[in-house]
Structure 1
Amino acid sequence: MTDPNPLLPHSNPATPPAPELEAQAHHRSLDDAIEHFIGDFRWTHLLQSTILSFAWFFDAQQTFITVFTDAQPKWSCKNSTLNYDNDSFSCNNNSNICNLSKDSWNWNSPSQTSIISEWSLECASPIITGLPASSFFAGCFVGGFVLATLADSNLGRKNLLVLASLIMSISGFFTAFSTNIWIYAAFRFISGFGRCTVGTSALVLSTELVGKKWRGNVGILGFILFTFGFLSLPAIAFLLEGCSWRLIYLYISIPSLFYSILVYFSVHESPRWLFVKGKKQEFVETLRKLASPEKRNSLLEAEISFFSDFGEKLGQNGFYSALKILLQKDWAWRRLSAAMAAAFGLGMMYYGMPLSLGNLSFDLYLSVTLNALSEFPASILAFVLIGKLNRKGSVLGLGLVSGICSLICVMVRNNRGMKIAMEMLSFSSACTAVDLLLIYTLELFPTSVRNSAVGMVRQALVVAGVISPVLVAAGRRNEWFSYGVFGVTISVCALFVVCLPETKGRKLCDTMEEEERDL
Structure 2
Amino acid sequence: MEVEDVIETTIGRSGRYQLWIFFLISIGRFPTEYQLTNVVFILPNPEYVCKDEGANNASNFCPCNNPEYDTSNVMNSVSSEWDLICDKRHLASLGQSMLQIGILAGSIFYGHISDRYGRKIACLLALTAEVFFVAISAAVTEFWMFAVCRFFIGVAVGGTMLCCYIIVIELFGKSFRPYLPGLIEMSYIISYLSLPLIAYFLRDWKHLQLVTSLPWVFVLLYYYLIPESPRWLITMGRKKEAIELLTFIAKKNNMPIEDIEATVVRGYMAALHEERKEHASYLDLFKTPKIRRYTLIIAFIWLCCAHTFFGINQYIGRLQGNIYVNVALSATSLIPGIVLVVLASLYLKRKTSVITSFSVAAISLLLFIVIPRSLETVTRVLAIIGMIGAYTSFVQIYLYSSEIFPTVIRNSAMGFASVFARFGGFIAPFVVNIGVEWVSILIFSVLAMCAASLCIFLPETKETVLLNTIEQTENKNELDHRENTENSKAPNTN
Give TM-score scaled by structure 1 length: 0.85
On the 8 A contact 1:354/1:368 being kept in 2, the answer is: no
* Matched residue SS, 2:360: helix
| Conserved? CA contact 2:41–2:74, under 8 Å | no
Match of 2:402 among 439, 442, 446: 442
For structure 2, the residue ranges without an aligned partner over 5 or more in a row are: 478-494
Q: How far is the alpha carbon of 1:364 from its aligned partner?
A: 1.0
Q: Which amino acid aligns with 1:328?
A: K
Shift of residue 299, structure 1, vs aligned partner: 3.9
Identify the range of structure 1 (209-218 vs 56-65) with the bigger mean alpha-carbon deviation. Answer: 56-65
The size of the alignment, in residue pairs, is 474
1:459-498 superposed matches below 5 A: 459-474=419-434, 477-498=435-456
CA contact (8 A) 1:58 1:226 kept: no
Task: Tell me the residue number matched to 1:141.
Answer: 104
What does 1:110-259 align with in structure 2 at a 5 Å threshold? Answer: 113-153=76-116, 155-241=117-203, 244-259=204-219
Deviation of 1:399 after TM superposition, in Å, equals 0.7
- Rounded to whole Å, the distance in 1 between the matches of 2:368 and 2:260 is 61
Task: Measure how far apart 1:409 and its partner are.
Answer: 2.1
Work out the CA distance in 2 between the residues paired with 1:278 and 1:294. 26
The alpha-carbon deviation at position 344 of structure 1 amounts to 1.3
* Percent identity between the two aligned chains: 27
What is the CA–CA distance in structure 1 between the aligned matches of 2:351 and 2:69, rounded to whole Å? 52
Shift in Å, 1:44 = 1.5
Distance in 1, matches of 2:23 and 2:427, equals 32
Look at both structures and tell me which one has the larger radius of gyration over its CA atoms: 1
For 1:83-482, what aligned pairs fall within 5 Å after superposition? 89-91=55-57, 95-98=59-62, 102=66, 105-109=68-72, 113-153=76-116, 155-241=117-203, 244-259=204-219, 261-292=220-251, 295-299=255-259, 301=261, 304=264, 317-318=278-279, 321-412=280-371, 413-474=373-434, 477-482=435-440
Q: 1:482 to 1:368 in 2, by over 3 A?
A: farther
Cα 1:110–1:233 change in 2 (3 A) is: closer
| Match of residue 39 from structure 2 | 66
User: Could you list the per-position Cα deviations for residues 480-502 of structure 1 after superposition, in whole angstroms to 9, with x for gaps in the alignment?
Assistant: 34323212221223211111011
Deviations 1:17-39 (CA, angstroms, capped at 9, x unpaired): xxxxxxxxxxx254442121123
Shift of 1:90: 4.3
Unaligned stretches of 5+ residues in structure 1: 1-27
Instruction: Flag the 1:59–1:389 CA change in 2: closer, same or farther, 3 A.
Output: farther
**What is the CA–CA distance in structure 2 between the aligned matches of 1:487 and 1:119, rounded to whole Å?**
33
User: Which of 456-465 and 47-56 deviates more?
Assistant: 47-56
TM-aligned CA distance change 1:482 to 1:373, over 3 Å: farther
- C-alpha deviation, 1:69, in angstroms: 0.8
Q: 1:402 to 1:175 in 2, by over 3 A?
A: same
Note the aligned Cα RMSD (angstroms): 2.5
Query: Structure 1 residues 110 and 363 mapped into 2: Cα distance closer, same or farther (>3 Å)?
Result: closer
Q: Is the 8 A contact 2:64 2:86 kept in 1?
A: no
Q: TM-score, normalised by structure 2?
A: 0.89
Q: Aligned-pair distance for 1:122? A: 2.1
Change over 3 Å in CA distance of 1:337–1:256 after alignment to 2: farther
Determine the C-alpha separation between the residues in 1 that align with 2:7 and 2:49.
63
Q: 1:509 aligns with which of 467, 483, 486?
A: 467
Contact map agreement 1:151 1:201 (CA 8 A) in 2: yes
Q: Deviations over 1:295-334 (max 9, x none)?
A: 443146466567666556677534xx33121111110111
CA displacement at 1:108 relative to structure 2: 3.3
Moved more, 138-147 or 106-115: 106-115
Question: Cα deviation per residue 1:265-317 (whole Å; 9 max; x = unaligned)?
Answer: 21221111100111112101211122156644314646656766655667753
- 2:107, 2:162 within 8 Å by CA — same for their partners in 1? no
Structure richer in helix, relative to its length: 2
Secondary structure in 2 matching 1:256? helix
Change (3 A) 1:315 1:54: farther
Instruction: Provide the residue aligned with 1:18 in structure 2.
Output: none
